[in-house]
Structure 1
Amino acid sequence: MADSWLVVGLGNPGPTYAGHRHNVGFMVVDELARRRSVRFAAPRGMRAEVAETRLGPPGAESPRLVLVKPRTFMNDSGAAVVKLAAFHKIAPDRIVAVHDELDIDFGQLRVKFAGGDNGHNGLKSMRRSLDTGDFYRVRFGVGRPPGRQDPADFLLSNFPAGARTDLEIEVGRAADAVESLLTVGLERTQNTFNS
């Protein structure tokens, strides 16, 4: 369907991982669902939690939005994405992956189309399963770990308690960036949000 978008939050399922830096993708799609008062459900055989809504106000003829949180772990996210994309007949160039990015400081976003995976296992899995990297990305900066901390340990740890307010603001801004991308396009969104 030409008027449908698949917005995939990348993360790991379950309460153990909920507040981790690696789960900001889930946080952003949760915010998009909250704004539209829709709940996630786990359709049989889809290996993901899914919430369907419209991009515009209720009753308006606007693009359909399929919000996705894979129930696979990060390294196998593509299996859920490819299955949902096929089910909803959504091409890769109508998919948006929202994910953490070590190479961008916390408080910064980058919106882009296509590219590599930059070592991100969720993107790597999506590229492998979709057989292309030609999808949109909303890259949420989490910054580099301090000192000699292992990047994997850093990503699989919670944001500090003192950053909660800033985190809420940045999650909201990333949700705004997704909405902007789907309504006004890539170039205008990059001009507004890329820092």
Structure 2
Amino acid sequence: MKYLIVGLGNIGPEYMNTRHNIGFMVVDELAKKNNTSFESGRYAFKSDFKYKGRQIHLIKPTTYMNLSGKAVNYWMKELKVPKENVLVIVDDLALPFGNQRMRAKGSSAGHNGLKSIEQLTGGNNYARLKFGIGDDFPKGRQVDFVLSEFTEGEFAELPLKIGKSCDMVLSFCTTGVMRTMSQFND
């Protein structure tokens, strides 16, 4: 069985530790834990590893957030991964910092990366792991907030929260979206 795990984020050192890049941070940790590294590929940095008989492909789109669908669509077709085996890891303003929720499908909720994926893969029927980044910003400053770095206190908590995300990804690949949701969702 093949799985495509997509960490959403923006390339470039100026975005590295920003809230919008939590998807990159999670797949980076998955690669590290499974002794693999990313290589440059078409529309994305790509890595893969085997886990409990599953072939797990990780990608970090290099298209920037708003065009993430190009990378997802390309790698789904290239690797022949069915949509039900795709999981997108994304930041979520509607969840308190560190809370995590997996969903089998859902709306983009205004997230441009998810909008792009919906447009280019033909709908919103793919799993997503939403990582809460909170909403502590003044009205009209959403873009500044998501592109800012985590606070010192949040950075201290990130390893534990990212570890939970990694566990959720591996659970998705081995036990499925529904069991993962009931076991892990905040």
TM over 0.5: yes
- 2:12 equivalent to 1:14: yes
Question: What displacement does 1:149 show?
Answer: 5.8
Alignment of 1:76 onto 2:90:
no
Shift of 1:116: 1.1
AA at the equivalent of 1:31 = E
Superposition map of 1:115-130 within 5 A? 115-130=106-121
CA distance in 2, matches of 1:93, 1:116: 16
Moved more, 144-153 or 177-186: 144-153
Per the alignment, in what secondary structure is the counterpart of residue 42 of structure 1? Answer: strand
Q: Please tell me the residue identity of whatever aligns with 1:143.
A: G
Matched, 1:86 2:77: yes
SS in 1 for 2:31: helix
Matched-pair contact (CA < 8 Å) for 2:85–2:173: no
Q: How much does 1:27 deviate?
A: 0.4
Counterpart check, 1:109 vs 2:100: yes
Match of 1:55 in 2: 51
How does the TM-score come out when normalised to structure 2?
0.96
Give the TM-score normalised by the residue count of structure 1: 0.92
* Identical-pair percentage: 37
> CA-to-partner distance for each residue in 1:143-166, whole Å, 9 max, x for gaps?
112343611110000001232120
Residue pairs, 1:1-195, within 5 angstroms: 3-43=1-41, 46-56=42-52, 62-148=53-139, 150-195=141-186
Name the SS of the counterpart of 2:40 in structure 1: coil
Give the length in aligned residue pairs.
186
Secondary structure, counterpart of 1:49 in structure 2: strand
Q: Is the 8 A contact 2:47 2:58 kept in 1?
A: yes
| Alpha-carbon distance between aligned partners in 1 of 2:33 and 2:135, rounded to the nearest angstrom | 30
Q: Are the equivalent residues in 2 in contact too, given 1:145–1:151 (CA < 8 A)?
A: no
TM-fit CA distance, 1:107: 2.0
Query: Which 5+ residue runs of structure 2 have no aligned equivalent?
Result: none
1:59 alignment partner in structure 2:
none
RMSD over aligned Cα atoms = 1.1
